[in-house]
Amino acid sequence: MSGPLGHVRVLDFTALVQGPMATQMLGDLGADVIKIEKVGGEWMRFWGILNGQSHGEMDSFLAFNRNKRSAEADLRDPEVRDRILQLAAGADVVVENFRPGVMERLGLGYETLVARNPRIVYCASVGYGQDGPYVGRPGQDLLVQSLAGLASLGGRDQDPPAPAGIGVADLAAGLHIVYGVLAALIARERTGEGQRVDVNMLNSLLALEHQEIASYLYTGQLSPRATSGIGSAYAGAPLGIYPTADGWLALSMQPLGRLAELLGVEDFAGIDSSNVIDDRDAVKRRLEQATRTRTTDEWLDHLLAHDVWCAPVNDLDRVVEDPQVVHNDILITLDHPSAGPIRVVGSPVRFSGTPSSVRSVPPELGQHTAAILQDVLGMSDEDIAGARERGAFGGAQSVPAA
């Protein structure tokens, strides 16, 4: 059974993280995603976190590009442009994350595509917006985290600002691409017409900072960063990360007096508040003296028996073996033709009637060029060969299985 988007075709012009993450999610939901890559391949085939190539392919590319077909093409070539316009005429969605104006200069902008296909949903995602004072700036995750104020909320007082440990601006934009595309597809069912959807990393990250920004706008006050590792610049004790005899323990909001009693700390008896702002650093340091006396597992057994909100602070080696992670079956193994068996994170959403699935592994560069040109556009072997001789299209010389 196909997924909920089994009737949808997506033309994917994205690279790196935000766009490929979004189109992979659409592919997991059943969409036919045609990934149009520049000749030589998109950036993530050559760059990724730690420059990791654990299986001979870039680890980061393998993480974000399953359930896609790859076509390798020179977007500056007039014949390629004409063929893509043919593809767009029968497509449902276009997703791109070029800088503003690039698709227009290639002759593939929204106005051109919607003239061919009024039902097209065209989603463009950039760093800061399609216009405005920062329109020409590079939109990279660390830069956006810093500009949006997120980095200023992390770390301890007197230390440098600390960005998040993952590319949260890219990932937030990817999620907004998906929900924007899905909303536009639903609207199209009612109106019969597509539309343009604009996403940017800055707005996406600001949307995640909703309550922190709202608090500042209400009060005009900035919450100072704590010196003791409180879990948020805006939170009070006891929320935070605590040392144990052999590691770390996360404690969330709960009445301070009750928690102190369970930890064997007498100083805070009778305090019902679960968000102590005044003297929060001193409170946390006093609790830390107690948490250091037992191992993380010993504290978990003791505190969870009393329904205290707590969790271990896992490194990734423990995450992948965590009993709940294993039970959720979120880590899947794919058999890649060149990389071999690879483990990746699967779709986080479950459907009872139209389940998501992995129908294909991350494609090799241009693996499906011939199939798309022949099966979708009806080009002959001779036409394809001529186009390849001019360098317009790359990829496999014969038609592979989809």
Q: Is the whole model's pTM more than 0.75, yes or no?
A: yes
| DSSP line for 117-173 | -TT-EEEEEESS-SSSTTTTS---HHHHHHHTTHHHHSS-TTSPP---SS-HHHHHH
Instruction: Print burial letters for 273-296: b (CB count within 10 Å at least 16), e (below 16).
Output: bbebeeebbebbebbbebbeebeb
Burial 345-369 (b: 16+ CB within 10 A, else e): ebbeeeeeeebbbeebbbbbbbbbb
Cα–Cα distance, 254 to 268 (Å, whole number): 13
168-191 and 18-28 are packed helices; what angle lies between their axes, rounded to 10 degrees?
50
Whether residue 214 lies inside any domain: the answer is no
The answer to whether residue 371 is domain-embedded is yes
The predicted pLDDT at position 91 comes to 98
Task: For the beta carbon of residue 315, count every other beta carbon within 10 angstroms.
Answer: 10
| Residue 199 β-bridge partners | 125
Q: Is there a single domain that holds both residue 187 and residue 281?
A: no
Evaluate whether residue 220 is within a structural domain: no
Catalytic residue of the set 59, 92, 141, 170? 170
Q: Looking at the structure, do residues 176 and 308 belong to the same domain, yes or no?
A: no
Specify whether 297 is located in the same domain as 365: no
Report which of 39, 30, 171, 42 is spatially closest to residue 92, judged by C-alpha positions: 30
234 part of a folded domain: no
**Same-domain pairing of 304 and 337:** no
Question: 276, 291, 319: which is the final residue of a domain?
Answer: 319
Identity of residue 391: G
Query: Which residues 6+ apart lie within 8 Å of 128 measured at CB?
Result: 134, 135, 137, 139, 144, 200, 201, 202
Residue 342 sits in a domain whose CATH number is 3.40.50.10540
Q: Is 53 found in the same domain as 163?
A: yes
Quote the radius of gyration of the chain (alpha carbons, Å).
25
Task: Please say if 281 is a catalytic residue.
Answer: no
Same domain for 289 and 141: no
Decide: helix, strand or coil at residue 7: coil
Residue 120: inside a domain, yes or no? yes
In a domain, 1, yes or no: no
As for how many domains the chain has, the answer is 2
Q: Are residues 339 and 315 in the same domain?
A: no
- 394 belongs to a structural domain: no
DSSP state of 366: T
Which of 271, 290, 319 represents a domain boundary (last residue)? 319
State whether residue 249 is helix, strand or coil: strand
Q: How far is it, in rounded angstroms, from Cα 24 to Cα 13?
A: 12
Domain ends where: 319, 345, 365?
A: 319
Do 313 and 342 belong to one domain?
Answer: no
Q: Which residues contact 347 (CB under 8 A, 6 or more apart)?
A: 25, 28, 29, 356
**With DSSP H G I counted as helix, E B as strand and the rest as coil, what are the percentages for the chain, rounded to 5?**
40, 15, 45
Residues 304 and 343 in one domain: no
| One domain for residues 91 and 184 | yes
Residue type for position 356: S
Tell me the CB-side half-sphere exposure of residue 290, using CA atoms within 13 A.
17
Evaluated on CA atoms 222, 228, 231, 237, the torsion sign reads negative
Could you read off the pLDDT of 29-84 as tens digits, one per residue? 999 999 999 999 999 999 999 999 988 889 999 999 999 999 999 999 999 999 99
- Give DSSP secondary structure letters for 67-79: SEEEEEB-TTSHH
For residues 278 and 365, membership in a common domain is answered with: no
Are 38 and 181 in the same domain?
Answer: yes
pLDDT number for residue 178: 98
Q: What is the domain extent for residue 251? A: 240-319
Task: Output the pLDDT for position 222.
Answer: 84
Look at the alpha carbons of 336, 27, 47, 315 in this order and tell me if their dihedral is positive or negative: negative
Report if residue 324 sits inside a domain: no
Q: pLDDT below 70 — which residues of the chain?
A: 1, 395-402
Which one, of 184, 29, 168, 6, lies nearest residue 95 by Cα?
184
> How is the beta sheet containing 9-13 ordered, strand by strand?
68-72, 32-37, 9-13, 93-96, 121-126, 195-200
Rounded Cα distance, 360 and 358, in Å = 6
Tens of pLDDT, residue by residue over 76-125, are: 999 999 999 999 999 999 999 999 999 999 999 999 999 999 999 999 99
- Separation of alpha carbons 201 and 78, rounded Å: 31
Count Cα neighbours of 321 within 13 Å in the Cβ-side half-sphere: 4
Task: Check which CATH number belongs to the domain holding 285 and give it.
Answer: 3.30.1540.10
By the 8 A CB rule, do 66 and 345 touch? no
How many C-alpha atoms does 229 have within 13 Å on its Cβ side?
Answer: 14
